[in-house]
Amino acid sequence: MLYQIMNGTVSVGGQTILSHIDFEIKGKEKIAVVGRNGAGKTTLLRLIAGELELDRDDRQTVQGIRTSRHVTIGMLHQNQQQDQDKTVEELLLSGFRDKDTFGRERFAYEMEYDRIFLGFGFQKADKKRRLSSFSGGEQTKLSLISLLLMKPDILLLDEPTNHLDIPTVEWLEGYMREYEQAVVFVSHDRFFLDKVVDVVYELSGGKLNRYPGSYTNYRQEKRKRAHLQKKAYERQQAEIDRMNQLVEKFKHKPKKAAFARSRKTMMQRMQRIEKPEMDDTHIFTGALEPLMPGPKWVLEAEHLKIGYDKVLLELSLRVRRGQKIGIIGDNGAGKSTFLKTVAGEVLPISGKCEPGSHILMGYFDQQSASIQSEKHVLEHFHDLFPGMTEKEVRQSLGAYLFSGTDDAKMVNALSGGEKARLVLAELLTGRPNLLVLDEPTNHMDIQAKETLESAFQAYTGTILFVSHDRYFIRQIADAILVFEGQSVMYYPFGYEHYLERRQKQKGENPSALIRAEEQALIADFKAVPKAERHRLREISTEEAYRDWRMRLVTEPMEKARTQVEELTKQWEKLQVELEESRWIGTERDPGKKQQQEQAERLKLELEKYQEQWTTCCLAWWDEKNVE
């Protein structure tokens, strides 16, 4: 135990923010604190940092903060103030106290300083610039660098990924995983938390609950705990109702009055199970089917040049029915322009971009979320789907978190995230077979994002989408399009697999890194037409696909060969023993009869594996000679 809060309460301005919480940091744990905005996450960080104190409560015998030793604590605030006249070098070297400029420790410090400074996307020349010449986001980066160089025993980071681009966030993930001290994070970046934390504390209603594991594990465990608590609560309520009925039935009967009193006493002494707070996230359990499945090839682009005044890029692509393709890349690379071209909002400069026959497309961009209407949400939605009953409309809206009084709100009064959620609910309720989505989860809270993730996972149609939310991409995409410069890379597997592959491929042949146990990822995979692959940069889809196919036929062939060799050895050994028994006249011995039966069984099994091996060899040969 490095740091511990026991039964702590914190009030600010007369309002209780944290109520009787228990919190613990063990060793070098990486801890995430999650909860809704205003739940008190930053208050908890300030308490750990020593900026706030626990409320005094003389009635509590066990209360307070303990540490195993003297600990140093460093905190990154969302708005960090620095001396603007200092240069970057003066700021970062001020954390090093040793006056020996040429010592080994100074050398190691400056090496680490360079590593972190360049990792955050700065150039060496930036060291001489004054802080006042940097933007607010860049100054936040510099404050974080300064804290990382100090290496406090406990590092407190409030939204550390704000103002960072994806490459820098990925670098920070790697650095945090190797960081040798304890860290407490507050962040809305779920993918970042999944990569770096091993404990999650949820703050809700002023209470803290600890969940071991990553962010995804926390969400799964929370649902599991809530389900079990709900069942236990319902069983207890049923038992209380039963006992109340007994009390009411027998309390006025002299012979049963004592029995009724005992049951009433039992109820009073019963430790009540609290009714669990319902998770705002809605999980779709059934499939969301399009009105019509559509053709095998949903979209075909051939020598497609996209852009406005000038060509941004050219690509050729075929999208198969049921694919969910996430599009990633730098700003200005042409991602949104490509989606607008697919949706018919922007005409191609040249080339072909044609949806398949019987395609019903749903298109969403940030303009879609700017809907204006004087109607209530319920009325607005019902007008779009007049064939639905009011009960069905309420059920549909409730599935997208418009329940209770939410459906009585005016559409114009909704926030940007709520409007986006309403438009996406309309699109999914319309059941198109192709969804084209540009940043669908912008400005949404985590519960809304998880609801839409569940809906898109349940949706059996085709999705083309752009998003900067890496967790959302990982949850939805089964293939990736990467826009870089004027080239497009198609990757036929999920986002996490793409990140793994990209990290490992440096200096190696990418195809050699595919693992056989992931073979399910490429079932029925048909890639971009072979003739059009000249527009796609490495990773080569064809090479990856061929390598996977060869592995699929090679592994069973090798397994069958090993079995044949092993069984052949066993059968030949038995044959030698049986032959020897004939020479010494013991072939009628009962033990030899068992050996003969065993030899027959081995022979049958050997013939079975020989046949399997032959079949595998033929499959391998056929695959090897595929044009």
Interval 263-285: pLDDT, tens: 899 999 999 998 887 777 888 98
**Arithmetic mean of pLDDT, 506-533:** 39
Is residue 327 exposed (0-12), middle (13-18) or buried (19+ Cβ within 10 Å)? buried
Amino acid 301 reads A
Cα torsion 182, 185, 190, 196 to 10°: value is -10
Amino acid 169 reads V
Enumerate the β-bridge partners of residue 300.
318, 354
Tokens of 346: 């922007």
Percentage of residues of the chain with pLDDT beyond 70: 87
| 35 Rama sector, left if φ>0, alpha if ψ -120 to 50, beta otherwise | left
Least confident of 244-248, 252-256, 530-534: 530-534
Q: What pLDDT was estimated at residue 473?
A: 95
Beta strand spans in 467-616 (E)? 479-484, 487-491
Q: What digits encode the pLDDT tens for the residues 398-442?
A: 999 998 788 888 999 888 889 999 999 999 999 999 999 999 988
| Contacts of 564 by beta carbon, 8 Å cutoff, 6+ apart | 606, 609, 610, 613
pTM of the predicted structure, to 2 decimals: 0.74
Q: What pLDDT was estimated at residue 544?
A: 57
Q: Which helix H or strand E contains 339, and what residues bound it? A: helix 335-343
Enumerate the β-bridge partners of residue 435.
362, 463
Tokens of 167: 């490459």
Question: pLDDT band at 521, cuts 50/70/90?
Answer: very low
Eight-class DSSP state of 274: P
Residue 102 has pLDDT above 60, yes or no: yes
Q: CA 468, 326, 544: angle at the middle one, nearest 5?
A: 125
CA separation for the pair 553, 622 (Å, rounded): 10
**CA end-to-end span of the chain:** 63
Contact (Cβ atoms closer than 8 angstroms) between residue 31 and residue 183 = yes
| 319 three-state secondary structure | strand
Kindly report whether the peptide bond that precedes residue 349 is cis, defined as omega within 30 degrees of 0: no
Q: What pLDDT was estimated at residue 292?
A: 92
Q: What digits encode the pLDDT tens for the residues 50-90?
A: 999 998 876 766 778 999 889 999 998 755 566 677 888 88
Number of H helices, E strands in the chain: 17, 18
Average pLDDT score over the chain: 84
Q: Which helix H or strand E contains 29, and what residues bound it? A: none
Q: What pLDDT was estimated at residue 206?
A: 85
Contact (Cβ atoms closer than 8 angstroms) between residue 64 and residue 54 = yes
Q: What digits encode the pLDDT tens for the residues 328-348?
A: 988 888 899 999 999 999 999
